Structure 1
Amino acid sequence: MLVINQKQVEDILTMKACIQVMEDVLKELAAGEAIQHLRSVVPIEKNNLMGLMPGYLRKEEVIGAKVITIYPENHQHGQPSHQGVVLLNDAKDGSLKAVMDGTKITAIRTAAVSAVATKALSKKDAEVLSLLGSGEQARTHLEAILLVRPIKLVNIWSRNMEKAKEWKAEMEQKYPVSIHVFETVKGAVREADIICTLTASTEPILCGEWVKEGAHINAVGACKAADRELDSELVRKSLFYVDRVESALNESGDYLFPLKKGVIDSNHIVGEIGEVLTKKVHGRQSNSEITIFESLGLAIEDLAAANFIYHEGVKSKKGTFISM
């Protein structure tokens, strides 16, 4: 069994490589070659939870699961909100092939999936990116979106202005883009071609009246039926895509709240992003349409990333082999 730590995961799983891995596995899911089940969740006090996310990649002949904890308030203490481990098993005999850090896998693959959706749904000439939130996902999303669209200006909003200013200074040292910090969400998104909502909010922070025609939104932060980042009007007037329909029907507050209010009907979901990639459903039809990608996170994304890391780790002799 190969044990791969957080630093080794980060070294092996580059964003560019992960974007391609995510595109491939989402196509497999659309083709029925990847088996995806709803996560099991154990609620914990103070809005915290632990989740188990199992899956099976038929072509790669691997099964496995991510065990993850989500503690939204961790950011206040300098810790990641999502922490976990990924177990990778051989599907032929069930043996455990690898155990690896899931915290960095989650951070990288989440942004990589947003990049896949952005490439598929946003306007090709999108130049202004708005990031709502200043945590780990803001860092990885900036890196990912820069790889798929010609971004020239980045607007960031955060509830913690000092943290947003620190993020700006850090990212401007790393990337050749102009970054502006905004005190309001409305100001941050007014001219945005691409918007990523990356918060732990349980109530809407992004309103439809603030979003311009032709924008694309990656809704990433809310992953429970009781939580949402988007208001109902924004969902109503947008083309709504998901990573998995089953997940959206059970876990997406962004979808379930307007559905329960009668603002949208049960046919509002256009399809899964993998179906857009395989041309089973249409994507953007005009430059005036607003598109939303609702990202809840899938076990098969973690497994695909882990399988890539495992093979690259074996080749590059990274990680530690131990006997059970």
Structure 2
Amino acid sequence: MAGSPPVIIWGREVENLLHYRDLIPRLEEALGKFSRRDSAEVIQPVRTTVPLQRHSGFLGLMPTYMENDGVLSTKFVCFYKREAGSTLPAVQATVVLLDPEYGNVKAVMDGEVITGMRTAAVSAISAKLLMRPGAEVLAILGTGKQALSHYNVFTEMFSFKEVRVWSRTKEGAERFVHSVSGAATVCGSVEEAVRGADVIVTVTRCTEPVLYGQWVKPGAHVAAVGACRPDWRELDDVLMKEAVVYADSREGAISESGDVILSGAEVFAELGDVINGTKPAHREKTTVFKSLGMGVEDAVSAKLVFDQWEAKASKL
């Protein structure tokens, strides 16, 4: 209600309110709406970034308006290029939900949990659409918070027989393996982790290629999540040029993704195109999903959190 003070929803409560079983179908619907380019469905400019040069980072602003759904939101996200062994966070985020009619702030909520969960959920949607049937081996490169959210949703949605993990440090990989609820194997090199893997998730802080096409099994699916700047990369030219490349946003990928820009690779389709049936899912080929993250994903997630919060509050 206009005039009411905004609700503040902290990270722990967001965790309690947001679940993949509820989030994934809403994200699939939102991705489809975005790719239809109907102005009444989703208005979402490409992320605006402000350089934080002294701190080797950027402030990203991600406003979104979904007119038919009555959702207006903005995410403020700071992301950084951290040195190996740094204890500082790579990403910090806050999501603001507004009333589109009155313009007042309805809720301010922790964006770190939302960012981690919606990003991992969209990667899982990409695997659902693009990986080959019967996939057995999952490889995760990176062991930060995004790696954990990806592990959680991929093992919840799919039945992999083996999960391999690589980190820049053996200690980091071992901590990750001990922190997860299921089984995972530490690998000493990227090549060891990805050789023969059916699905590969890259969630690293790398700014130079770490995954090489010569190591990737033909027909594998790669969800590339790190390297969110035009001069940052995780994947080499061989992989980018040999694979069929999908993105969450074509415009975002060709303006923000170093993997796409520096390799000269063509973005074949958006995930929403596959969901809408306007472009095919090339499951028989090697595929790359280049994830940049979109405001519509944050908007849908924030709306779900707020609706759950209201439902819980009404019972008190």
With structure 2 as the length reference, what TM-score do the two structures score? Answer: 0.93
Tell me the CA shift for residue 46 of structure 1: 4.3
Distance 1:136 1:273 in 2: 24
1:53 maps to 2:62: yes
Q: Do 1:89 and 1:98's aligned partners in 2 also have CA atoms closer than 8 Å? A: yes
Provide the aligned C-alpha RMSD in A.
Answer: 1.5
Distance 2:189 2:85 in 1: 20
Equivalent residues in 2 for 1:69-148 (5 A)?
Answer: 69-73=78-82, 76-148=85-157
Q: Describe the shift of the 1:99–1:74 C-alpha distance in structure 2 as closer, same or farther (beyond 3 A).
A: farther
**1:75-119 residue CA offsets vs partner (Å, 9 max, x unmatched):** 845443111110111222222211111111111111011011110
**1:110-146 residue CA offsets vs partner (Å, 9 max, x unmatched):** 1011011110111121110000001111111011112
**In structure 1, what is the equivalent of residue 273 of structure 2?**
275
Which of 158, 161, 179 is residue 170 of structure 2 equivalent to?
161
1:14 maps to 2:19: yes
Q: Do 2:248 and 2:290's aligned partners in 1 also have CA atoms closer than 8 Å? A: yes
| AA partner of residue 297 (structure 2) | E
| AA partner of residue 270 (structure 1) | F
| AA partner of residue 245 (structure 2) | F
1:247 maps to 2:252: yes
Deviates more, 1:220-229 or 1:309-318: 309-318
Gaps of 5+ in 2: 1-5
Q: Do 1:133 and 1:197's aligned partners in 2 also have CA atoms closer than 8 Å? A: yes
Q: Do 2:219 and 2:283's aligned partners in 1 also have CA atoms closer than 8 Å? A: no
Q: Describe the shift of the 1:84–1:285 C-alpha distance in structure 2 as closer, same or farther (beyond 3 A).
A: closer
**In structure 2, what is the equivalent of residue 308 of structure 1?**
304
**In structure 2, what is the equivalent of residue 299 of structure 1?**
295
Distance 1:113 1:270 in 2: 17
| AA partner of residue 315 (structure 1) | A
**1:230-250 residue CA offsets vs partner (Å, 9 max, x unmatched):** 001101110000110110111
Tell me the CA shift for residue 60 of structure 1: 1.5
1:2 maps to 2:7: yes
Q: Describe the shift of the 1:75–1:103 C-alpha distance in structure 2 as closer, same or farther (beyond 3 A).
A: farther
**In structure 1, what is the equivalent of residue 43 of structure 2?**
35
Tell me the CA shift for residue 258 of structure 1: 1.2
Distance 1:34 1:157 in 2: 37
**In structure 2, what is the equivalent of residue 290 of structure 1?**
286
Percent identical pairs in the alignment equals: 36
Gaps of 5+ in 1: 319-324
Which of 23, 31, 45 is residue 26 of structure 1 equivalent to?
31
| AA partner of residue 269 (structure 1) | V
Distance 1:101 1:234 in 2: 35
Aligned residues: 305
With structure 1 as the length reference, what TM-score do the two structures score? Answer: 0.91
1:236 maps to 2:241: yes
Q: Do 1:127 and 1:149's aligned partners in 2 also have CA atoms closer than 8 Å? A: no
Q: Describe the shift of the 1:237–1:270 C-alpha distance in structure 2 as closer, same or farther (beyond 3 A).
A: same
Equivalent residues in 2 for 1:188-207 (5 A)?
Answer: 188-207=193-212
| AA partner of residue 294 (structure 2) | L
The secondary structure found in structure 2 opposite 1:212 is: coil
Deviates more, 1:97-106 or 1:23-32: 23-32
**In structure 2, what is the equivalent of residue 322 of structure 1?**
none
| AA partner of residue 223 (structure 2) | N
**In structure 1, what is the equivalent of residue 76 of structure 2?**
67
| AA partner of residue 181 (structure 1) | V
The secondary structure found in structure 2 opposite 1:317 is: helix
| AA partner of residue 28 (structure 2) | E
Q: Describe the shift of the 1:127–1:92 C-alpha distance in structure 2 as closer, same or farther (beyond 3 A).
A: same
Q: Do 2:7 and 2:108's aligned partners in 1 also have CA atoms closer than 8 Å? A: yes
